[in-house]
Structure 1
Amino acid sequence: MQIAVLGLNHGYTFAKQIKEMKGMTLAAVAGNNAAAIERANELEVPLYQDYKKLIDQCQLDGVIITLPNHLHKEAVKYCADHGLHCLVEKPIADTTDAAREMIDYCKQKQVKLMVGHHRRFSDKINHLKQLLASGIIGELVGVNMVWALAKDRNYYKEAWRIKASGGPLLINGIHDLDNLLHVTNLEIESAYAVARNKIRGFEVEDAVTAILEASDGTVINYFLTDGVPSPWSYEFNVMENPIYHFYEEDCYHFFGTKGSLAFPSFRCFRYSEEDQYGWKHALTEERFPLEAAADPITAELEHFEAVLKGGIAPRVTGEEGLKTLEILEAVNLSVQEKRKVSLHE
């Protein structure tokens, strides 16, 4: 499979993995800054400053798009015009209208559109999904999710990251909320959120608190910030990416009628007997560890390879990416209009 990667920030991770895979060949990359030149040289592949010229000139089987969010729609449509299947990095687009246009366009052109929510390929996330489905904590009542860390100061030197759609909610929060949808199968009905930029003062948010309500009555509380020193975040706790320090902490907690479950420690607290129920009795702690876990990026790429070969549909379709983006858009609208927003307005 001849693959091109458009964008060499997060795309660099994909490109390096493809170089090590037997079923894929990295044909070319696109990027237009000094880092892209350095990385293309390291990868020993042609670099195009204009991704459209790359698409026009290279014989490809598929394209991985990791460009800034607002360029996703244009790039996907250009690839679709050339009959190329796409893996587009999350979020699927910067707006739900753009996402719907992309989905419809790919259907019209009969090309497959896969969204890069790679944590759906995480063994730990799927272990969590299985545990919740097993009923070990009973009926889900509430969820608490935290994503709190301090990004490097140089991170925000790129202009698009300090403008609307470049902040942590869309870049990082989209991961947590997609995890939520994947492991619970909840249908989110409404969102109420507040956001602040008191840490850096940029146009984009640096702290968000959101309350989400699901159709079955489950309530989710989500706090996100990328400007405070903290050990509580998926990246720091799950140990799936070696560039991050590891802290043996939990970033998600699930509360049910029969018990509570923490992630990623998989510590579960319940009462041992029905007649010993209530705050005067001691909780029993159990652990449901996962012995080994594969790299989710590799698993995602292997799945994309299988999609390109034909016979299977993408595990994360455009429609799935749209569902997650709809929640983010509702959260943003709630922030802007200072009100509770229904996803079905």
Structure 2
Amino acid sequence: MKLAVLGLNHGFAFASEIKKMKGVTLSAVAGQGPLAERRAEMLDVPLYGDYKQLIEKCQLDGAIIALPNQLHKKAAFLCANKGIGVLIEKPIADTVADGEDITRFFHSHGVPLMVGHHRRFSKKINHLKALLSEGVIGELISVHMVWALAKDKRYFAQEWRVNNGGGPLLINGIHDLDNLRYVTNLEIESAYAVARHTIRGQKVEDSLTAILEAAGGVVIHYFLSDGVPSPWAYEMTMNENDKYPCYKEDCYHFYGEKGSLAFPSFRCYTYNEEQYGWEHRLVEKNYSPTDNNDPIKEELYHFIDVLAGKDQPAVPGEEGTRTLAVLEAIRKSVQEKSRITVRGGFNK
């Protein structure tokens, strides 16, 4: 099976893993600049400066699109036209309309499409989903989510990260929003959000606060920033990636009628029925799983099975577009300074 990786930032992790796999060949990679050249040399594979030439010239079974967000649609269409199955990094596209177009285009061509929300393959995330489904905290009332950290200054040297199509909401927030939808099965109906640009003075947001309303009355509070020193973010608490230091902190809190659950510590607080209320001590129970895994590796192996016809995409285009629809409502709310109904994205 012959694969290619388009984009060597996040895509480098996929490319490195493919090189270790049996029965799979990394045929080529696409990227630009000294870093891409060094990484292609490390991988010992041909480097194309233009991803379009790679798609045209290489005979491929599958491609991983890890290009800047604004290039996703064009690259995906080129792959579908050649019958190349695609794992497209989150977000599926810049806009819901483009996400819908990509999804329908692949369906019409009969080509596999999977969206790279790799955290759905995390054992901890799936453990969280199971606990909420089992009702350990009863009926869900509210969720509080934080993604707050400070990125290094050289991160912003790439122009696309400081202009439309970049920024922490699309690059990082999309993960949290997909995690939320996945573990709760909530249908997000509306969003109200405010953002600021004063930390770095760039065109894209550097912090954002959103209030999301879901069907059934569940309310979600979400704070996002890539410019404040803080350990309260998914990457800094999960210990999934050696690149980031890990802190024994929580980034999500779930509040239910029977109790509350923190993630990823899995500390759960409830009361005994005979000693219920604030005058009594809460009962603490830890539901932490015994093991961890590498979600990106699990996602890649699943994608190989999809290309081989052994499985259906765990995250089809429809799911990626539904998550993007929530993000688009947040973005529109910031622009219009009003409450926005979540529309499109194959939502009910």
* TM band (smaller chain): over 0.9
What is the match of residue 88 of structure 2? Answer: 88
CA distance in 2, matches of 1:342, 1:51: 37
Instruction: Give the conservation status (yes or no) of the 8 Å contact 1:146–1:223.
Output: yes
Is the partner of 1:217 in helix, strand or coil?
coil
TM-score normalized with structure 1 length: 0.98
When the two structures are aligned, how many residues end up with a matched partner? 344
Is the partner of 1:64 in helix, strand or coil?
strand
Q: CA deviation at 1:134?
A: 0.7
What is the match of residue 162 of structure 1? Answer: 162
CA distance in 2, matches of 1:20, 1:263: 32
CA distance in 1, matches of 2:336, 2:55: 41
Q: CA deviation at 1:56?
A: 1.7
What is the match of residue 340 of structure 2? Answer: 341
CA distance in 2, matches of 1:183, 1:16: 29
CA distance in 2, matches of 1:269, 1:113: 41
Q: CA deviation at 1:198?
A: 1.0
What is the match of residue 323 of structure 1? Answer: 322
- Tell me, yes or no, if structure 1 residue 266 matches structure 2 residue 278: no
CA distance in 1, matches of 2:87, 2:243: 23
Q: CA deviation at 1:275?
A: 2.8
The percent identity for this pair of structures is 61
CA distance in 1, matches of 2:297, 2:129: 20
What is the match of residue 108 of structure 2? Answer: 108
CA distance in 2, matches of 1:259, 1:116: 32
Instruction: Give the conservation status (yes or no) of the 8 Å contact 1:63–1:87.
Output: yes
CA distance in 1, matches of 2:333, 2:194: 7
Instruction: Give the conservation status (yes or no) of the 8 Å contact 1:259–1:271.
Output: yes
Deviation digits for residues 43-71 of structure 1 (CA, Å, limit 9, x no counterpart): 00000111121112212110000000010
- Tell me, yes or no, if structure 1 residue 239 matches structure 2 residue 239: yes
TM-score normalized with structure 2 length: 0.98
Deviation digits for residues 101-154 of structure 1 (CA, Å, limit 9, x no counterpart): 101111111101100000000000000000111101000000000000000101
Q: CA deviation at 1:344?
A: 3.8
CA distance in 1, matches of 2:57, 2:229: 46
Q: CA deviation at 1:209?
A: 0.2
Q: Which amino acid aligns with 1:70?
A: Q
What is the match of residue 37 of structure 1? Answer: 37
- Tell me, yes or no, if structure 1 residue 302 matches structure 2 residue 301: yes
Is the partner of 1:4 in helix, strand or coil?
strand
Is the partner of 1:93 in helix, strand or coil?
coil
- Tell me, yes or no, if structure 1 residue 282 matches structure 2 residue 255: no
Is the partner of 2:231 in helix, strand or coil?
coil
What is the match of residue 21 of structure 1? Answer: 21
Q: CA deviation at 1:249?
A: 0.2
What is the match of residue 172 of structure 1? Answer: 172
Instruction: Give the conservation status (yes or no) of the 8 Å contact 1:80–1:109.
Output: yes
Q: Which amino acid aligns with 2:291?
A: A
Q: Which amino acid aligns with 1:223?
A: F
What is the match of residue 214 of structure 2? Answer: 214
Q: CA deviation at 1:311?
A: 3.5
What is the match of residue 64 of structure 1? Answer: 64
CA distance in 2, matches of 1:45, 1:135: 49
Is the partner of 1:98 in helix, strand or coil?
helix
Q: Which amino acid aligns with 2:326?
A: I
CA distance in 2, matches of 1:344, 1:10: 29
CA distance in 2, matches of 1:324, 1:99: 10
Is the partner of 2:133 in helix, strand or coil?
helix
Instruction: Give the conservation status (yes or no) of the 8 Å contact 1:23–1:305.
Output: no
Q: CA deviation at 1:218?
A: 0.5
Instruction: Give the conservation status (yes or no) of the 8 Å contact 1:192–1:212.
Output: yes
Deviation digits for residues 245-289 of structure 1 (CA, Å, limit 9, x no counterpart): 0100000000000000000000000002x2321111110000011
CA distance in 1, matches of 2:282, 2:80: 55
Instruction: Give the conservation status (yes or no) of the 8 Å contact 1:114–1:316.
Output: yes
**Which runs of no fewer than 5 residues in structure 2 stay unpaired?**
none
CA distance in 2, matches of 1:9, 1:3: 17
What is the match of residue 252 of structure 2? Answer: 252
After the TM superposition, which of the residue ranges 330-339 and 291-300 deviates more from structure 2?
Answer: 291-300
Is the partner of 1:319 in helix, strand or coil?
helix
CA distance in 2, matches of 1:53, 1:177: 34
CA distance in 1, matches of 2:111, 2:93: 17
